[in-house]
Amino acid sequence: QPPNSQTEESCVLKRTDCRAKGGAPGFKVAILGAAGGIGQPLAMLMKMNPLVSVLHLYDVVNAPGVTADISHMDTGAVVRGFLGQPQLESALIGMDLVIIPAGVPRKPGMTRDDLFNINAGIVRTLCEGVAKCCPNAIVNLISNPVNSTVPIAAEVFKKAGTYDPKRLLGVTMLDVVRANTFVAEVLGLDPREVDVPVVGGHAGVTILPLLSQAKPPSSFTPEETEYLTKRIQDGGTEVVQAKAGAGSATLSMAYAAVKFADACLRGLRGDASVVECAFVASEVTELPFFATKVRLGRRGAEEVYQLGPLNEYERVGLQKAKKELAESIQKGISFIRK
């Protein structure tokens, strides 16, 4: 316990009281894998988010150091650190939102699926903790391969009897962030003015940008379409190669994760029309999970939007995406059911 734990507790109580009285809202957020390449900048950015009143930082290494560091920031959230499996439950009790970037990243030459053997077990353990300690929390799952880890989490929650498909969201926001950036470059626009839906999943051909639905409405030559689609699909690999063995995207991912978590918190607060892309349980295709735009509300992904009109290039891409996705989803489900 830190020497000032009593002061800290009274601080949290005052803020919770303020929230109960209809004052500034504050949500309790846990980051699992908080000492990692994504976890650290994510923790810093969440500490700066005015919607967060309590921030729990959990990792199997270095959580106390990261917590001490971030706790000195003069922003509203109270920060607490939790180290190792024995402290997982304390990290999770009472949380409104749990963000999971725990697990190993890729090195050059690897696919995201090559991470399955290590990350599947990590995600299972962490989700068992969520089911036990905060079954009503919204879960933002970042750990790869997302196309399999989300089905794993769903199976863990089903087994525990706590599964609510609306509350489990695979984070595909980085694909949208990349799509907006690369499309803006081609169109000569400010990326903040661009919004490109990216559907399907989060690996290679399963990442399907819908350029025909880009905002502002734009037309692309076949060469531009091919270049943009490939660059968005291979964005993760571009970073893995540039980092040359030192990991994968961490800073842009932390930015994307905070953008998505903030949307989830605004939804929880009751804001209207909060819409982002995410990999969720879905009836949009014949697959049990699929990324599309979803409307975020008090209960999580309250509405899952249809794909909308696709052009021929996108229809072909959709068939390829579904084929690979079906296998990755089944692999995740089998990992728990076997």
Q: Which residues bind ligand LMR (CB under 6 A)?
A: 105-106, 112, 144, 174, 202, 235-236, 239-240, 248-249
Does 212 help bind ligand NAD (rule: CB under 6 A)?
no
Q: Is 297 annotated as a binding residue?
A: no
- According to CB under 6 A, which residues from 161 to 190 bind ligand NAD? 171, 174
CA distance 314 to 269: 35
> Which of ligand LMR, ligand NAD, none does residue 318 bind (CB under 5 to 8 Å by kind)?
none
Taking CB under 6 A as the binding criterion, the range among 120-128, 190-198, 282-290, 300-308 that sits at the site for ligand NAD is 120-128
At residue 135, the 3 state secondary structure works out as coil
DSSP state of 29: E
- Say how many C-beta atoms besides its own lie within 10 A of residue 288's C-beta: 17
CA distance 301 to 275: 9
Strand partners, 168: 139
At residue 303, the 3 state secondary structure works out as strand
Q: Is 178 annotated as a binding residue?
A: yes
Exposed/middle/buried for residue 255 (C-beta within 10 Å: 0-12, 13-18, 19+)? middle
Nearest residue (CB) to ligand NAD, 31 versus 220: 31
Residues 31 and 58 sit within 8 Å (Cβ to Cβ): yes
Tell me which residue has its CB nearest to ligand NAD.
Answer: 36
Quote the least distance from Cβ 106 to ligand LMR, whole Å: 4
Residue in 28, 248, 278, 276 with CA at minimum distance from that of residue 146: 278
At residue 297, the 3 state secondary structure works out as strand
Q: Count residues contacting ligand NAD (CB under 6 A)?
A: 33
Helical residues (DSSP H) of 21-115, grouped into ranges = 39-47, 63-71, 88-92
Q: Is 112 annotated as a binding residue?
A: yes
Quote the least distance from Cβ 274 to ligand NAD, whole Å: 20
Nearest residue (CB) to ligand LMR, 56 versus 178: 178
Nearest residue (CB) to ligand NAD, 47 versus 106: 106
Quote the least distance from Cβ 123 to ligand NAD, whole Å: 9
> Which of ligand NAD, ligand LMR, none does residue 247 bind (CB under 5 to 8 Å by kind)?
ligand NAD
Q: Is 253 annotated as a binding residue?
A: yes
Does 101 help bind ligand NAD (rule: CB under 6 A)?
yes
Quote the least distance from Cβ 4 to ligand NAD, whole Å: 26
Quote the least distance from Cβ 112 to ligand LMR, whole Å: 5
CA 192 to chain centre: 20
Nearest residue (CB) to ligand LMR, 11 versus 104: 104
Dihedral sign for Cα atoms in the order 77, 153, 168, 285: positive
Q: Is 203 annotated as a binding residue?
A: no
Residues 137 and 105 sit within 8 Å (Cβ to Cβ): no
CA distance 228 to 213: 14
Active site residues: 202
Q: Is 44 annotated as a binding residue?
A: no
Annotated binding-site ranges: 33-39, 59, 106, 112, 119, 142-144, 178, 253
Annotated binding-site ranges for substrate: 106, 112, 144, 178
